Chain A
């Protein structure tokens, strides 16, 4: 396991009105990874980012980045962290080039035209460099925010809902940008509502709800541990009961015996192999079927399931 670039311990935040946004959060982020923080609205994702980036004052706990305690050596830590906020907050009357140059200087870096050009070109903003930000579309404004965050070459980048309100093409384009950043060694923490996004890009996933981290694990490990295959087999003739050779599979009869539903597997292809064996067993038992619908559970299914379980438990 690579060294943690960010360590959060016992982090809590209670707002003035008494709302507990973070509750004893423990989290280590590894160098060079893409970490996706998933959670429903109001789960505490943005507060967590705000606490690390200096926008929110924690009520308790410690945060250290690059070995610097953020409560003490915050300048050195912040100089290496970038933030793309959720809201499209930019100086609308500033030009793209000046806004990005300003961000670089604000973080203590000398002017570097080549670097600014590189960032703007990588985000296809170069042609718009002299435009006022207010003249740009929502997607382009989002890119400007990313360019501003990248201008000082951060080693740790927070992307708070980076593709919110962005069309599908642009979203996929941004995924490429994020992958390219990772190639350069930038550690990325992103929050997202699009679980597809986490599934596509993340190395590890954290699920947060009501300020508490419910789970942190490698995405593939989660999929393997909690992923399931569901197959619905539409039978030619309804069955009253299952023969013994079929009952050994994790199946149940539905729709008055007209459908056989399989739920099982390991999220790593084992379920599909099981379904193949099941169909052979059906034929061997003389049971005919008209169709099969197979569906592997996504990270979204796992996420929704976990959050529902928690809600039911409470």
Chain B
């Protein structure tokens, strides 16, 4: 029997395990489908078109697009996984158990967001592995790359969690990843350097926050970027802080969770 109770480690671990199990149960959707999509990008843009492109900043075009493609998949999948993870219990009513359990914001985030972030890291590793089949590349700062991917995965897992709490229909759940994140990632320098854009579009493109993420990851890969790595890092940390604050607000007020 428990009397006074602090942080519920087992509760957090149970949520984490279950969410990961859910991903493995839907492995095709969670892992294989993104790998196939990314492979198609490598074949079309990397091999077919890329072979006719000039190197950008001294990096072969097929290698240049790897960080952008990774970011494209990472943002979409992380947001979708995390939002789906919390939306489904709300939709099916099983959230009653979570709300009645001795778990708070910390346990819930570690469970849901931790699992979504873990899935994203696995996905990133699989995509990078897939990329080696199509193109030779080396990561200049692997530790930075790992840290940056971790940071982006955590931030967008939090963002997805907020989305899953906000959405009250499957349509709304899909709107942000499909209609906002994917277009912004395409326009954020996935397939080109912002410097290649004619004025004033090269400046306008900097209004797109995803451009900073793509640029940041590209710096960890090749040491060159459209914007300073410090700015990319600062923006990502700021986004993480905002998402954390919003989720804390959600739990404190019970918005869309508790009646």
Residues of A whose CB lies within 8 Å of any CB of B are 15, 50, 53-57, 73-76, 78-81, 83, 85, 87, 89-93, 98, 102-103, 105-110, 148, 153, 155
Q: In the complex the two chains form, is A54's CB within 8 Å of B14's CB?
A: no
Complex formed: what's the CA distance from A73 to B100 in Å? 13
Tell me the minimal C-beta distance from B111 to chain A in angstroms. 9
Give Cα A79 to B4, complex, Å.
10
User: What chain A residues lie within 8 Å of B13 (beta carbons)?
Assistant: 105
Q: CB within 8 A of B14: which of A50, A75, A91, A102?
A: A102
Mark out the residues of chain B between 8 and 22 whose CB falls within 8 Å of any chain A CB in the assembled complex. 8-11, 13-15, 17-18, 21
Q: Report the minimum CB–CB distance from A155 to chain B (whole Å).
A: 8
What is the CA–CA distance of A212 and B213 in the complex, to the nearest angstrom? 56
The 10 closest A-B pairs by CB, nearest first: A105-B14, A89-B93, A75-B102, A53-B100, A75-B5, A78-B102, A79-B102, A76-B5, A79-B2, A106-B101
Rounded to whole angstroms, the CA-CA distance of A189 and B8 in the bound complex is 26
B138 at the interface (CB under 8 A from A): no
- Contact between chains at B25 and A57 (CB < 8 Å): no
B230 to chain A minimum Cβ distance, whole angstroms, is 40
Compute how far the CA of A153 lies from the CA of B1 in the bound complex, rounded to whole angstroms. Answer: 8
A55 adjacent to B258 (CB under 8 Å): yes
> Contacts A79-B5, A105-B10: A89 and B92 contacting too (C-beta < 8 A)?
yes
B97 proximal to A (CB < 8 A): yes
Pair A107/B101 contact, Cβ less than 8 Å: yes
Instruction: Give the complex CA separation of A234 and B137 in angstroms.
Output: 101
Q: For the complex, give the distance between the alpha carbons of A50 and B259 in Å.
A: 9
A-B contact pairs, 24 of them (CB 8 A): A55-B259, A78-B100, A79-B2, A79-B5, A79-B102, A83-B96, A85-B93, A85-B96, A89-B94, A92-B92, A103-B97, A105-B10, A105-B13, A105-B17, A106-B10, A106-B11, A106-B14, A106-B97, A106-B98, A106-B103, A107-B102, A108-B5, A108-B102, A155-B1
Is residue B183 within 8 Å, beta carbon to beta carbon, of the partner chain?
Answer: no
**B8 to A108, Cβ gap below 8 A?**
yes
In the bound assembly, the distance between CA atoms of A141 and B162 in angstroms comes to: 31
Contacts of B10 in A (CB 8 A): 105-106, 108-110
B109 nearest CB across to chain A (Å): 15
User: Is B2 a contact of A54 with CB atoms below 8 Å?
Assistant: no
B3 contacts partner chain A, Cβ-Cβ < 8 Å: yes
Task: Look across to chain A and name the residue whose beta carbon is closest to the beta carbon of B21.
Answer: A98
Closest CB-CB distance, A203 to chain B, in whole Å?
Answer: 23
State the Cβ distance, A73 to closest chain B Cβ, in Å.
Answer: 7
Could you tell me if A106 and B15 are in contact, using CB atoms closer than 8 angstroms? yes
In the bound complex, what is the Cα–Cα distance between A75 and B258 (angstroms)?
A: 16
Q: In the complex, what distance in Å separates the CA atom of A85 from the CA atom of B10?
A: 23
Report the minimal beta-carbon distance from B99 to chain A, rounded to whole angstroms: 5
B209 within 8 A of A: no
- Flag if A81 contacts B100 (CB, 8 Å): yes
